[in-house]
Amino acid sequence: MRKKIVAGNWKMNLTLSQGEQLLNDIVNAGLKLEDDVAVVVAPPFPYLQKAKSILQHNPGFFVAAQNCASEKSGAYTGEVSAEMLKSIGVDYVILGHSERREYFNESNEILAKKVDLVLANGMKAIFCCGEPLAVRQAETQNEYVAKQLEESLFHLPAEALKDIVIAYEPIWAIGTGLTASAQQAQDMHAFIRAQVAKKYDRETALRLTILYGGSAKPGNAPELFACEDVDGGLIGGASLVAKDFAAIAQSF
Ligand SMILES: O=C(CO)COP(=O)(O)O
């Protein structure tokens, strides 16, 4: 069986004390997690160590960074390397979020380098893909997402896919209140899995965790997570409210 994941992407929100409060509220929410469910929290860089110290004693909880550098080390002022993240106990790194692609010009080629560095440092990558509204309206979303996978992930050998989680986040659904319908999410997730099966093999594809992201909330998570190929969610806004995030984590 493949792993199910609910991951909270805090983006650039909260102060340290607000973040600590939120983490404590999440771990004290009395979540009953099945063995195959992991809860991942991705706070901003300055809070990662604190998050690790709060979450590490709670089985099933993991810490993610929201990004890392595309170079190993050196004169790159302001950057944070994969090795640094590993050294403070980070478990997952979110890569290729559409906000990074759009505002920080991250290309598929740059993301391929980041994927390699995350895996080389023994962490797992949550690789984000997804199309803008114009592409969805032109009904070319499959080609668009296939290219993102091809250019950033498909250079990896099959065994490396065990450390990859894919998050499908249609850009038109992020922070807009517009959720993809369960059918739209299922169709894209099945397409992604089929692409992986075609490139690698069926076993590799069946083991791959594929998350949905984009205005996921307690109200729509059960329907989305009930889809055959939707293995959880990457949650933005609702991950900042402990009771909403906890409710989503219990939506399988
Ligand atoms: O971008 C997202 C998670 O990475 C989704 O954000 P929202 O849940 O706020 O739409």
pLDDT tens by residue, 164-189: 999 999 999 998 888 899 999 999 99
Atom of ligand 1 nearest to the CA of 167: 4
Question: Does residue 236 have a known ligand-binding role?
Answer: yes
Task: State the average pLDDT over residues 218-235.
Answer: 98
Question: Does residue 215 have a known ligand-binding role?
Answer: yes
Bridge-based pairing of strands 92-95 and 4-9 is unpaired
Q: What are the φ/ψ torsions at residue 115 (nearest 5 degrees)?
A: -55, -45
Q: Cα–Cα distance between 148 and 11 in angstroms, integer?
A: 22
pLDDT in tens, 93-108: 999 999 999 999 999 9
Task: State the average pLDDT over residues 66-79.
Answer: 98
Q: Which residues contact 49 (CB under 8 A, 6 or more apart)?
A: 88, 89
Distance 67 CA to ligand 1 centre (A): 15
In this structure, what CATH number is given to the domain that contains residue 98? 3.20.20.70
Q: Is the pLDDT of residue 57 over 80?
A: yes
Q: Cα–Cα distance between 148 and 252 in angstroms, integer?
A: 28
The CA-CA-CA angle for residues 87, 96, 14, to 5°, reads 65
Question: Does residue 10 have a known ligand-binding role?
Answer: yes
Atom of ligand 1 nearest to the CA of 238: 8
Ligand 1, CB cutoff 6 Å, lining residues: 9, 97, 169, 174-175, 213-216, 234-238
Distance 175 CA to ligand 1 centre (A): 6
Q: Is the ipTM of this complex over 0.85?
A: yes
Q: Is the pLDDT of residue 1 over 80?
A: no
Q: pTM above the 0.90 mark?
A: yes
Task: Report whether 217 contacts 177 (CB < 8 A).
Answer: no
Question: Torsion-angle region of residue 4: left (phi > 0), alpha (psi -120 to 50) or beta?
Answer: beta
Question: Does residue 199 have a known ligand-binding role?
Answer: no
Domains held by the chain: number = 1
Q: Could you list the active site residues?
A: 97, 169
Assigned token pair, 47: 């809070």
User: Helix, strand or coil for residue 127?
Assistant: strand
Q: How much is the pLDDT for 241?
A: 98
Full domain range(s) for residue 35: 4-249
Q: Which helix (H) or strand (E) holds 22?
A: helix 16-27
Distance 212 CA to ligand 1 centre (A): 9
Q: For a substitution probing ligand 1, which of 66, 101, 211, 215 has the most ligand atoms within 8 Å of its CB?
A: 215
| Residues of the chain above pLDDT 90, percent | 95
Q: How much is the pLDDT for 176?
A: 87
Q: Is the pLDDT of residue 76 over 80?
A: yes
Distance 223 CA to ligand 1 centre (A): 17
Quick one: pLDDT band at residue 142, thresholds 50, 70, 90? very high
